[in-house]
Amino acid sequence: MDEMTREIAIIGDHFMLPEVFAEKLSQACGPAVSIRARKDNWPDEPMEHGYARPGMDGLKEYFGDAEGVVDFVGAAEILVTQLAPMSRAMLERLPALKMIAVSRGGPVNIDMAAARDHGVLVVNTPGRNASAVAEFTLGAILAETRRIRVGHEALRAGTWRGDLYRADVTGRELNEMTVGVIGYGNIGTRVVRLLRAFGARVLVCDPYIQLDPEDAAAGVLLVPLSRLLAESDIVSLHPRVTDETRGMMDAAAFAAMKPGALFVNTARGPLCDYDALCRALEAGHLGGAMLETFAVEPVPADWPLLQLPNVTLTPHIAGASLRTVTHAAEQAAEEVRRYLAGEPPRNAC
């Protein structure tokens, strides 16, 4: 190997395909890099959590045996991965490692304090799936508001729901509804643009932002949470999980929503008190819910929300699109190119 060639190890999986990352890295970096790759068996096998294994404390949502990862990375200067763990003990055994590119929104599989202590640059790929999640959110809303799921389930069960044409049963159009979007980041801003295209009245709650001038000019309003909950026919959740937002949708929040409103969560399970949501749905206060993420995954088979007729559930797939893969690979490759060229990173963690 040429002494100027820089060594890159890619640990991908059946979603973040290592061959796609290798292709994008080769395009961005040319012959200056030597690439080796392996494909782990996620999502066909479940992820692990650091609290479940000694020596991996503080890591969340990772996939891969520590010993196997260390052996594979070896003398590589750069690691590109989605899920491979990197604990303090692992970093101590990888003195050549100087950069980790994590192809996800947050590097929860990396011990960030240890990385800083070892002088290892960690970058991530924020917004990699923002478009995918925004599209999915609109699909989820339409599945409920236009009775797509209800009609489908009935037909599969052998029932022709002609009554869905009744004015007191049929769905509503987005152009006559108010939609509240909580969180105005990479995903929330895209959801707002899509809702605008449907003609919805849009309210946004996010205390840390100003509205995009184009959204403001189109009539989007930035409002307090209390007003958003009181006026919205649909509430869609898009903030990060922080100490401030954890459990923000609790019994009081659901009680403050309009009677008959729809609740949509394509963000994160810990943002929501699902027991309180279940009670609000069972009591008939809320008209329905669409839930894509959960505090415990997979959800228990006896979970009450699985049994309710006015709830659509999907297994945390909103961000799963082919474009998410290529977008993440392009972002990671650009970060590696910048590192090799001595340029500052775009998304240092």
List the catalytic residue out of 6, 316, 327, 337: 316
List Cβ neighbours of 72 (8 Å cut-off, separation of 6 or more).
Answer: 9, 11, 36, 38
Measured CA to CA, the distance from residue 78 to residue 58 in angstroms comes to 22
Residues in the chain: 349
What are the residues facing 237 on neighbouring strands? Answer: 182, 265
Measured CA to CA, the distance from residue 257 to residue 253 in angstroms comes to 7
List the catalytic residue out of 116, 297, 323, 346: 297
Is residue 55 left, alpha or beta, with left meaning phi > 0 and alpha meaning psi from -120 to 50?
A: left
Is 268 among the catalytic positions? yes
List the catalytic residue out of 190, 268, 327, 337: 268
Is 297 among the catalytic positions? yes
Nearest Cα neighbor of 250 from 216, 232, 227, 274 is: 274
List Cβ neighbours of 248 (8 Å cut-off, separation of 6 or more).
Answer: 182, 225, 239, 271, 272
Measured CA to CA, the distance from residue 328 to residue 263 in angstroms comes to 29
* Cis status of the peptide bond prior to 46, with omega within 30 of 0: no
Measured CA to CA, the distance from residue 249 to residue 275 in angstroms comes to 11
Whether the CB-CB separation of 174 and 145 falls below 8 Å is answered with yes
Measured CA to CA, the distance from residue 177 to residue 192 in angstroms comes to 13
Q: Residue 1, SS3?
A: coil
List Cβ neighbours of 68 (8 Å cut-off, separation of 6 or more).
Answer: none
Which residues participate in catalysis according to the annotation? 268, 297, 316
